Structure 1
Amino acid sequence: MERPYSRAEVIEGWQAEMSESIDASEVKWIQTWSAGVNAFPLENLEQKDVQVTTANGVHTYPISEMIFALMLALTRKVDTYIKQQQTKTWHHAHMKQEIHEKTIGIIGVGKIGKAFGMTVLGMRHSGKSEEFVDEMFTQKQLNDLLRCDFIVVTLPLTPETRNMFGKKEFELMKPSALSLI
C-alpha cells in the first residue's frame, strides 16, 4: 500500500512511521512543528540531501511562561501548600528561596528574556550575544555557567547534547540550585 507522503517533495509535520519508507520517497524538505528533531532519522535524511527545518522560536511565550511558572511553583512550594490545603494541615513549608534578583542560566538560550530583575546567563553553540542576556557562554564554558540559582535547559536532544548533564555537572551547581531540565 502506497503511503500518502511517498510521492511528496515537502512534508509538514513528522510521524515516526515515516522513517520506514523515507528511503523510497521523493521528499526534499521536511518542516516540523516542534523545535526538537531527536526522533528523526537525521543521518538517513542527510544522506538523501533532505532539508529539515524546525519551529524553533515559535513557542517562545508558552515555554518561557511555563519555565517561570515552574520556578515559582518550586520556590513557593506550591505543591506542598496544595497538599496542606487538601488535608487542612497548616504549617510553614520552610520556604528558603525566592526568584527575585537571582541568577538564571538558560542553556540553549533563544528568546527567553529577562524578568523579575534576574541576572540572565545564557549558553548557545555560537556564543553570539542575545538581547536581555547579561553574559553568554558556549558549550565549552558550561561549567562556568553552572553557578546560577536556576538552570534551565531548552536544548533539543542531539548527539552533541546527549549526556551533557551528568553527576559532575550537578555537583558543580550550588546546593540551593533548582534545575528545569
Structure 2
Amino acid sequence: MNVNHILVAGNFKEEFKKKMPDQLRHEFRFLPVEKITGEDLDWADVYVGFQPAPDFDLSKINWVHSFNAGVNNYLELSGWSENQVLLTRTVCSFGQRISEYCLSYVLRDIQYHQEFHEKQRLKKWEKRTPKMIRDQTVVIYGTGDIGQEVAKTFDFFGATVYGISRSGSQKPYFKKVFDTAPSSILSRADWVISTLPLTPETDKMFNSSFFNQMNGSFINVGRGATVDEKALIKGLDKGNVQSAILDVLAEEPLPVNSSLWTREDVTITPHISAVTELDEAIQCFLETLRKVENDELLPNLVDVGKGY
C-alpha cells in the first residue's frame, strides 16, 4: 500500500516527533477527533486514533489503525468489506501486561494474601500452607496473542493450561485447545480466564449455563459485555463461582448501584490490565506502517468479518 498522508486523531505531534525516524517521508495532520472534517478524511490515506471521528466515512480512507487493542468502536462503522479498508490494532506489551495482571490475582488467592493480612490485623499467628501454581488448572478463553501470552506465563510455572477458541486449533503453551469447553474441564478448572473480544457470538456468552458448570474462579480481561452479570452474581451466590476478578464490565464506569461493588468475592479494577501508553502505541503504529509499505505479514491485522 502506498501511504503518503497520515491523519492522527489527537494532539500528539510532539510525541510522534520523538518516535519518527528522520527519513520518514510522510505528511501528517494532528487534529482533535471532534474537529476532523470530511476534507481531512479525503486528504488522508490512513486514519490513526483511539476512536473514529464524527461522521466517519470509510469510503474516504484506505487504512485505519486503532491505538487500542479492542476495535469495537471502529467495527460499529458500516462499509468495511465493500470499501476494502485495512484495520489494524495496537497490541505491543498488552499480552505481558494482562498475563501479569492475571498472575497477580491468582497468587493473591493461592498464597492467601488477604487471609494473612487479616490475621496480621488481628495479631494472630496462624499458619496455612500456600498452594502452588503447578497444581492449578487454568482454562483460557481466546488463544490469540493475548491468550497465548497468558498461557505462556502459567505454563512456565507448571500449571495445566487449556484453551478455548472458535477454531480449536492447537497453540503453544496449551495442553490442549478445544472449540467448546468440555464440562469435565470447566468443572475441574481452578481458574477460568477470558481474553475474548466482543462479537455477536461472544455477547453474554458467559451465562447461567456456563457458570453452572464452574467450580473455580473467573477472571475477565477481555470485554465486559461477554459476561451476563446477573448470571455471574447467581453463580457466585450458588457457590459455582468461587470468586470473580473483573477488569472489564458491561457498563464502564460500573454504576454506583451495582451490587458487584460490595461483594467480598468480587474484585473490580477500572480497565487497567492493559493500559495503552501513548509512546508504545505510536511505536506500534510506526512499525505497522513499515510492514504495510513493505507488504509484510501483519500480526495485528483485524479480520472485520470475525470482529478480532
What is the TM-score of this pair, normalised by structure 2? 0.49
Contact 2:119–2:126 (8 Å) recurs in 1: no
Q: Would the aligned equivalents of 1:80 and 1:93 in 2 still touch at CA under 8 Å? A: no
- In structure 1, the partner of 2:271 is none
More helix by share: 2
Confirm or deny that 1:160 pairs with 2:201.
yes
Partner of 1:90: 124
**Cα gap change, 1:24/1:65 in structure 2, threshold over 3 Å: closer, same or farther?**
closer
Residue 173 of structure 2 corresponds to: 132
Distance 1:2 1:100, change over 3 A: closer
Amino-acid identity (%): 26
Specify the SS of the correspondent of 1:125: coil
Partner of 1:53: 88
CA distance in structure 1 between the aligned counterparts of 2:190 and 2:161, rounded to whole angstroms = 10
**Contact 1:8/1:25 (CA < 8 Å) preserved in 2?**
no
Residue 49 of structure 1: CA displacement? 3.5
Quick one: structure 1 residues 3 and 133, their matched pair in 2 at CA, closer, same or farther if it must change by over 3 Å? same
In the alignment, structure 1 residue 23 sits paired with structure 2 residue 57: yes
1:75 and 1:96 in contact (8 A); partners too:
yes
Q: 2:105 aligns with which of 46, 67, 70?
A: 70
Q: Which has the larger radius of gyration?
A: 2
Q: Which runs of 5+ in 1 are unaligned?
A: none
1:40, distance to aligned residue in structure 2 (A): 2.4
SS in 2 for 1:142: coil
Q: Deviations over 1:112-157 (max 9, x none)?
A: 211321111001222111111111111xx13444231110101112
Task: Give the aligned residue type for 1:3.
Answer: I
Pairing 1:10–2:46 present: yes
Aligned-residue Cα RMSD (Å) equals 2.9
Question: Structure 2 matches for 1:98-113, cutoff 5 A?
Answer: 98-110=132-144, 111-112=148-149, 113=152
Counterpart Cα distance in 2 of 1:120 and 1:162: 24
Q: Is the 8 A contact 1:105 1:152 kept in 2?
A: yes
In 2, Cα distance between equivalents of 1:95 and 1:33:
44
CA contact (8 A) 2:59 2:79 kept: no
Pairing 1:121–2:162 present: yes
- CA–CA separation in structure 2 for the residues paired with 1:92 and 1:132: 37
Do the aligned partners of residues 57 and 178 (structure 1) sit closer, same or farther apart at CA in structure 2, a change above 3 Å counting? farther
1:83-105: per-residue Cα shift (whole Å, max 9, x none)?
554x4543659788543222111
User: How many residue pairs get matched?
Assistant: 174
